Amino acid sequence: MKTVKDLQVAGKRVLVRCDFNVPLKDGAIRDDNRIVQALPTIKELISKGAKVILMSHLGKVDHKDPVKLAEGLKKNTLAPVAVRLGELLGKEVVFSEETRGEKLSALVNNMKDGDVLLVQNTRFEKGETKNDPELSRAWADLADAFVMDAFGSAHRAHASTYGVPELLKAEGKEVAVGYLVEKEVVNLSKVVDCKERPYLAILGGFKVSDKIKVINSLLKKCDKIIIGGAMAYTFIKALGGNVGTSPVEMDQLDYAREMYASGKILLPVDTVCANDFDNPTEVKVVESKDIPEGFEGLDIGPKTREMYMAEITKAKTIFWNGPMGVFEKDAYQAGTVAVCKACAELKGKAFTVIGGGDSAAACKQFGYNEEFSHVSTGGGASLEMIENDGHLPGIDVIG
Ligand code: ADP
Ligand code: MG
């Protein structure tokens, strides 16, 4: 696959699909990691003398309901990203309020070699998420070459991630992946096709139903899967345990039994539970299969932590998705911290990958993100890459 390094683009207009879907609060960027991660590709193109046109989506925009649309357009502007990017690059980043039309064309025509232009949120266009051919045509007309560097959006075949490169490629124009996508693919490939065994998957988070496809896929690839988070209670219930008021997906019980029959799944033996999610008067550790009436499981217990840490220590490859408990609250962090710590101790001895938005946030919150071999910037995209045996539409279209 061609990368940005291989491109000969001096004087050419290069459209770069970035992932600037940053968390905003009251119009301020709370975490600029995604902008920082995009810098190597942008800097490379500037140094090559390209005219760098950047596109990204930000948040969700509802085009059906006019009130929600107005809110979405106000809330999800990329203008603050242009400012922050300018600071990080130490050069002006021109911002186009228009997502297509004469004003945008004029801005592009005015660009000099090495200039950077950021286009307003791609999702302000109704046709973006529908991969609308007319929209793809309009955007493709702005560019002589295309670089895909939005790993977090590579699982979506939208106009800016799929339609545009498809058109440009068919016209014989250069298309490539950026450094961020290259790094993600190189690292995630090692958990798609695992060579260093034992291969352990750690799965947690909220719902079994969100993760069915990835569990199926991991069962084929892994030697063992350890389960935590709320999804553990669906398994425990399926095996006949009492789970109190813990969240259970009743429509997933058969599936959970079937998965458990693989013999590869380990479940928590004890659980930290509480008599209320928000204002508990009692928090205690019980056996996972005996959670009392009126109590809800919120983290894996101390015996499970020991058991899971021992499993982690034995692994040579680890893929982790989903926190072990409600890590956002101090009382239910210990399980997730234990997994972070055990993985961190494998540094230099095993290949450890985190895929999943909340798991990556947890690992950063607890200060362990530098200790992992790879922390993916794409939650959904990293899961889909495993589910689809290494394939994602936004990357396959380049190759
Ligand atoms: P990721 O984003 O890493 O894929 P998910 O989105 O699947 O992870 O799950 C993360 C959420 O799951 C967190 O907000 C966490 O609080 C929640 N969670 C984990 N364990 C429990 C539990 N026992 N009860 C309720 N929520 C839980
Ligand atoms: Mg999540």
**Residue range 199-220, pLDDT digits in tens:** 999 999 998 888 888 999 999 9
pLDDT band at 356 (very low <50, low <70, confident <90, very high): confident
- What percent of the chain clears pLDDT 90, i.e. is strictly above it? 95
Q: What's the pLDDT at 208?
A: 87
Average pLDDT over residues 294-300: 98
pLDDT band at 296 (very low <50, low <70, confident <90, very high): very high
Q: What's the pLDDT at 20?
A: 97
Minimum CA distance residue for ligand 1 atom 16: 326
Mean pLDDT across the chain: 97
Question: Can 205 be counted among the known catalytic residues?
Answer: no
In terms of Cβ atoms closer than 10 Å to its own Cβ (0-12, 13-18, 19+), residue 65 is exposed
**Residue range 157-205, pLDDT digits in tens:** 999 999 999 999 999 999 999 999 999 999 999 999 999 999 999 999 9
Question: Is the distance from CB of 36 to CB of 101 less than 8 angstroms?
Answer: no
Question: Can 17 be counted among the known catalytic residues?
Answer: no
Q: Which atom of ligand 1 is nearest to the CA of 360?
A: 3
pLDDT band at 308 (very low <50, low <70, confident <90, very high): very high
Q: CA distances (Å), 376 to each of 152, 184, 189, 190, 305, in order? A: 9, 7, 12, 13, 24
Q: What's the pLDDT at 212?
A: 87
**Residue 104 φ then ψ, to 5°:** -65, -45
Average pLDDT over residues 277-306: 98
pTM above threshold 0.85: yes
Bridge pairing between strands 224-227 and 265-266 = parallel
Question: What does the block give as tokens for 259?
Answer: 């998965």
Question: Is the distance from CB of 24 to CB of 78 less than 8 angstroms?
Answer: no
Catalytic one of 17, 34, 156, 237: 34
Q: Which atom of ligand 1 is nearest to the CA of 361?
A: 3
CA distance 205 to 203: 7
Q: Is the peptide bond before 323 cis (omega within 30 degrees of 0)?
A: no
Q: Which of 358, 382, 385, 386 to mutate to test the pocket of ligand 1 (most atoms within 8 A of CB)?
A: 358
Asked if the model's pLDDT at residue 90 lies above 90, the reply is yes
Question: Can 30 be counted among the known catalytic residues?
Answer: no
CA of 68 to the centre of ligand 1 (A): 27
Residue carrying the six token digits 């006019």 = 66
Pocket of ligand 1 (CB under 6 A): 204-206, 210, 229-230, 247, 297-298, 321-323, 325-326, 328, 356-359, 379
Question: What does the block give as tokens for 142?
Answer: 């702005």
Residue carrying the six token digits 């922050």 = 84
**How would DSSP label each residue in 64-100?**
SSHHHHHHHHHHT-SHHHHHHHHHHHTS-EEEES-SS
